[in-house]
Amino acid sequence: MPVTRREALCALVGVLGGALAPRKAAAAETPVSLAAPERIAQLHVTATGELLAISSAGRLWQFDGRAWQQRGDGLDPRAPLATGQGRVAGRAAAGGLWVLEAGRATQAAAPRLLPYAGLHVLPLGVIAVAEGAGGRAHAVRLEPSSGGAWRETARSTEPVLPDARPQQVDLDGPLAAASDGHILVLGGPDAQRYRHVVLGDDVEATRVLYLERHGLEPLRTLTLPAPHVLEDIAPRPIEWAGATELLTVRSGPQGAQLAVIAADRTKRDALALGALGEPLGTPNRWMAATTDGRGLLAVHTPHIGGVLHEYVREGNALRARRIAGAYSTHALGSRELDLAAWAGGALVLPGQDRRTLHALAGDGWSQRAVYTLAQPVVATRVWRSGARPGVAALLADGSVVWVAAAP
């Protein structure tokens, strides 16, 4: 995408603003190489702290802190992993569901899953995104049969984003109650309303769907009127006043703005916009949101200057405060929408060229450490090395390194 003179000026202002912003001096640190056995395409950390990876050749690897062990093969390296309930789930190279359980891998020939979409593992099934009639995408539920084969048991009537990331949340309870909740997924795919094409394709969401986890029937929905879209693939659950809400990005004629979506307390079948930040003011300007479940931050225009802002909620408004510039938590065209990671009381995020990682203290955003990378970072995952909190980072050449949240 060509850079205009205005964009170049904005980038220069952002870089200079970042250089002039007050930051606590931090010595340059060296990341620790995790010596990946081959070029890595996907990283994943399980709820119990295991670091998994898919190689570009479709092999599944696990790192135990000392060495990598191969645990399977035949995976599509474009698709993210999902884990839980003793299972590892992914998209098979042939297009169906791939599941590793008790050391045994099984595959389902149908339905055909979308290559860039996510999955979610439930106690008795897996939620995925599958191809439908007319090129549409739908959320599907698959369950194992008595013989161990996986079969489709439910499909959403509403179309969803082709690269949607289904997740389980309880919109009527706190964050900790997620396992009692239902399936949240972005829908209403639209390729005409907002042609920006920075998140991997030209299709954006116009609906939020909260689906019953067994039959995938709609429980609550939100539809954005034209000309707005949700320029996102997976809203981020946050806790507010004891309830779970969703942090996302709404975009329209004035560009992107931070948005919070919540259950509508007056209508049992509806979701509502609970709070909105100010838009950036120019169309086709985006922001990358990040949260640890409570703090609300966003990097404004991460491809052009990248200025980190902290948001405070005041009623139905989100008020932004500038922290510093020259950060980037997203690469153009990538579906890794948040390269920031929250670990050990620190926010770890890349510099503007993504060749450095900066650890900022969460009690005031002073800089704890700066790590210089051999290649641009393309994905980050919170992962503890022994007792030390930190971040595993996937670099553009397929190598994997680790950085401490506090040196």
**Which one of 155, 175, 203 terminates a domain?**
155
Q: Any idea which residue has 């950036």 for tokens?
A: 280
Q: Residue 275's beta-bridge partner residues?
A: 260
Note whether 168 and 88 are same-domain residues.
no
- Is 347 within the bounds of a domain? yes
Domain hosting 116: range is: 74-155
DSSP string, 232-294: -SSPEEEEETTEEEEEEEEEETTEEEEEEEEE-TT-TTBEEEEEEEPP-SSTT--EEEEESSS
Evaluate whether 297 touches 346 at the Cβ level (below 8 Å).
Answer: no
Q: Residue 121's beta-bridge partner residues?
A: 126
Note whether 134 and 254 are same-domain residues.
no
**Which one of 140, 155, 170 terminates a domain?**
155
**Which one of 155, 173, 198 terminates a domain?**
155
Note whether 116 and 225 are same-domain residues.
no
Note whether 344 and 283 are same-domain residues.
yes
Note whether 90 and 221 are same-domain residues.
no
Note whether 169 and 315 are same-domain residues.
yes
Note whether 114 and 178 are same-domain residues.
no
* CATH, residue 399: 2.120.10
Note whether 221 and 340 are same-domain residues.
yes
Note whether 91 and 195 are same-domain residues.
no
* Number of domain units in the chain: 2
Note whether 117 and 180 are same-domain residues.
no
Evaluate whether 205 touches 232 at the Cβ level (below 8 Å).
Answer: yes
Q: What is the CA radius of gyration of the chain?
A: 21
One digit per residue, the tens of pLDDT, for the chain of length 407 reads: 444 433 443 444 344 344 334 344 566 789 999 999 999 999 999 999 999 999 999 999 999 999 999 999 999 999 999 999 999 999 999 999 999 999 999 999 999 999 999 999 999 999 999 999 999 999 999 999 887 799 999 999 999 999 999 999 999 999 999 999 999 999 999 999 999 999 999 999 999 999 999 999 999 999 999 999 999 999 999 999 999 999 999 999 999 999 999 999 999 999 999 999 999 999 999 999 999 999 999 999 999 999 999 999 999 999 999 999 999 999 999 999 999 999 999 999 999 999 999 999 988 999 999 999 999 999 999 999 999 999 999 999 999 999 999 87
pTM listed for this prediction: 0.93
- Is 69 within the bounds of a domain? no
- Is 178 within the bounds of a domain? yes
- Is 207 within the bounds of a domain? yes
- Is 383 within the bounds of a domain? yes
Between CA 66 and CA 77 the distance in angstroms is 24
Note whether 336 and 194 are same-domain residues.
yes
Note whether 151 and 21 are same-domain residues.
no
